[in-house]
Amino acid sequence: MEEKENKDDAELSVTNDSEQENLPTKDDGEDVKKGVVQKQNQDGDDDLDGVVMSFWDHLEAFRWVLLRSIIALFVFAIGAYAVMKDLFDSVIMAPSRSDFFLYKYLCKATASVPFLPDFCEDFEANIQNINLTSQFFRHITTSFWLAVVLACPYLIFEIWRFISPALYKTEKRSVRWVFVFGTLMFFIGCALGYAIIFPMTFRFLDGYVLSPTIVNAISLDSYMDNFMTLILMMGLVFELPLIAWMLSQLGLLNRSFFKKFRRHAVVALLVLAAFITPSGDPFTMSVVFIPLYILWELSAFFVKPAPPEDEDTEDIDIFGKLFGTSKD
């Protein structure tokens, strides 16, 4: 009897061992997953990198993106700090003097317009420092601001390198020029803010006289706040065509939207211009609003045309698509 029970136990053990060998293991699952990815790469026309990354892998990659970006900002900030004393008088304070290189061209362009500042007369603004530590801290903050502007191409490159493994080859080709275009538009906006928007705003406000008994003595903090805010914000708002193109690629925006909501856009752009301008005066708002509206109209050429049914009805539920409440 004991020999029979031992024989049955041996047969049961062999059966369990064979069943465990047939069960899928974790390594088998990973092999299957890799095999599926490789098969998709072989069968599809657009190749992915074939690397399966977990959530923690993505978080680690993003951590390194932030670390490299911060290091780049510090490197540019240190370089800007070293040369800031030379740049401050020749570049940053240049619009406060009548020898600014663009004033002679603005003099010819605005001579016949009565409500614009007189760029033909000689002037030099009286910039004063009223706080003991302002010059030291302005040296630091201006260096960091300049580092953000100059490091913008590298920061965009880091964003591109982080998202590019998740894109197909055709998507990489299209997105690559988008980042180049976005960088170019950012610098064009900053250049426009420095060369036209800020000088016109500064000359208007500096020459505005409420009473002849009042002498304008502009503080250093007021000058720098307006200077940095206007230039940086103009660089950011020049990304509007790029944002419109991206929304169009996602199917959230088409050309008929710009036709239907043009009147609403005018009000929204006026509010945005008031937010951008630190002073909030009507003249500065008008100077900022004009390029914003031009960018709005220009954005319509970067989006896809409306489908035939939308062109007939002119009914776009973009807000429903954005917030998930679309009737479709």
Per-residue pLDDT reduced to its tens digit, 263-306: 888 898 888 888 877 656 677 778 788 888 888 888 888 787 87
Cβ–Cβ < 8 Å for 284, 257: no
Half-sphere exposure of 154 (CA within 13 A, CB side): 17
Specify whether the CB–CB gap between 227 and 100 falls below 8 A.
no
Work out the average pLDDT over 231-257: 82
Which band of pLDDT confidence, cut at 50, 70 and 90, is reported for residue 77? very high
Task: Tell me the percentage of the chain whose pLDDT exceeds 70.
Answer: 73
Residue with tokens 């008088």: 89
Which residue ranges make up each domain of the chain? 54-238, 240-314
Which pLDDT score, from 0 to 100, does residue 76 have? Answer: 94
Could you report how far apart the first and last alpha carbons of the chain are, in Å? 75
Q: Smallest Cα–Cα separation from 282: which of 208, 227, 220?
A: 208
What is the pLDDT, as a whole number, of residue 285? 79
Residue 276 tokens read as 């951008």
pLDDT in tens, 133-160: 889 999 999 999 999 988 888 888 888 7
Between CA 325 and CA 328 the distance in angstroms is: 9
Q: What is the pLDDT of residue 163?
A: 77
pLDDT 10s digits, 100-109: 888 888 787 7
Give the span between the Cα atoms of 75 and 69, in whole angstroms: 10
Alpha-helical runs (H) found in the chain: 2-22, 26-43, 55-87, 103-110, 134-150, 152-163, 169-192, 198-207, 220-237, 240-249, 255-260, 262-276, 282-299, 308-313, 318-323
CA dihedral 98, 104, 108, 113 (to 10 degrees): -30
Please report, rounded to a whole number, the percentage of residues in the chain having pLDDT higher than 90: 14
Residue 3: the pLDDT is 52
pTM, 2 dp:
0.68
Work out the mean pLDDT of the chain and round it to a whole number: 76
Residue 43 has pLDDT above 60, yes or no: no
Question: Please, which residues have CB within 8 angstroms of residue 309's CB and are 6 or more apart in sequence?
Answer: none
pLDDT at 262 over 70: yes
Residues 122-130, mean pLDDT to the nearest whole number? 85
